Structure 1
Amino acid sequence: MNFCSHCGDAVDLAVPVGDDRARRVCSGCGAIHYENPRVVVGCVIEEGGKLLLCRRAIEPMVGRWTVPAGFLELEESLTQGAARETWEEACARVRVAAPLASFDLLHIGQVYTLFRASLAEPGFAAGPESLEVRLFEPEAIPWDELAFPVIDFALRLYLQDRASGRPNLHLGHLRWNGEGSRFRAANYELGDHRRVGLDPDGT
């Protein structure tokens, strides 16, 4: 932001009185413009032992695979947003069962919250933001073609939980090491990883 949305004057970085960090402050009317993390919501959908993935039709990472996910809208809950994104990207109605992961991505100002889900009714298809949608056996997941590191971490934790028979809510901070591509999972580590055990049915 370079200009105030209230009066149009230029904004400067300054620490407001009583604050502890620099904010964008209007040089004219004094309005303080706060910037807060954006929330991304989505679903890891299992059906018949397979996981549903979408191949992206838009940038970034067009042509790569991901779970249906996107930015939370105003006036919707986390689960509502996750279900809406799934409909928009995979034309699928889902039953959101339980939380899977909440990851902080501080380097890009995002919080990812992903849910365990299943199809509420048969059928799925590519939405406007997807080239195709497919169900993958776990051993066939295209790990080297996933769009975002956060999806790589979430899917691996989901499969670990499934193998152990102990579902968890995973919390942590996904840290980029500052080297190489920000889209390569190997350049990240999951810090402050905590597992909160869920009931066997995932609730």
Structure 2
Amino acid sequence: MKKLFIILMVLVSACSSNKLDFSKLIDKNGIVYENGDDKPYSGEVVCKFTNGKNNFEGNYENGIKAKNWIYYFENGQKKSEGTYKDGAKDGTWTYWDEKGTKIGDEIYKDNKLLSKAIEINSDSLKQTTDSTVAEVKEIEKAKAPVNTKKQSSGIVKFDQLRGGPVKTLNGIIYTGPVVDYHSNGVKSLEGNFRNGKRNGLWVFYDKKGNVKSSKVYK
């Protein structure tokens, strides 16, 4: 029995070690590397609050966010969960409050919000703001500025945006991902804009690459 217990403990330890401590990663121009390694990191990561509970956990493929990611509150409750594809939100993202009550779902494609469903009662009745992808495309088309300049298809740095409450890029109201970096090259923030305003999950980092805070904008 004692031997079996030891074997189980070894197996648990081995499984836990598969998740790399996020603090051991360095972001270089949007690609993540393990400290001391010149090859983009692929594998699972985990980041913890000072109380020992998980802050978030997820996966990287070739230095870019991929597959399933889960973010938590400090009390251990899930904050959000969803998938990344090639570093962009893709598919359904679900959000909860600190008590574990589901807030709603958002559906993304290539980091663009296609639809949102908000929980409005305990029976999980939903109020959907954008019922279909086709409707969303029609709305965006109707709201599109007359300016015909093309926006960058890549991730934009925060200091490239202009304007006050509503941000623009090259004179066009901006929708898409954004990042910024500290003077030492380490990422300082990452998030998304929709129609010129902050939208979805934003994560802020210190100069060592550790997560300082995160916030979900609606």
TM-score, scaled relative to structure 2: 0.24
Q: Which is helix-richer, 1 or 2?
A: 1
Tell me: higher relative CO, structure 1 or 2? Use CA pairs within 8 A at least 6 residues apart: 1
Q: Which is strand-richer, 1 or 2?
A: 2
TM-score, scaled relative to structure 1: 0.25
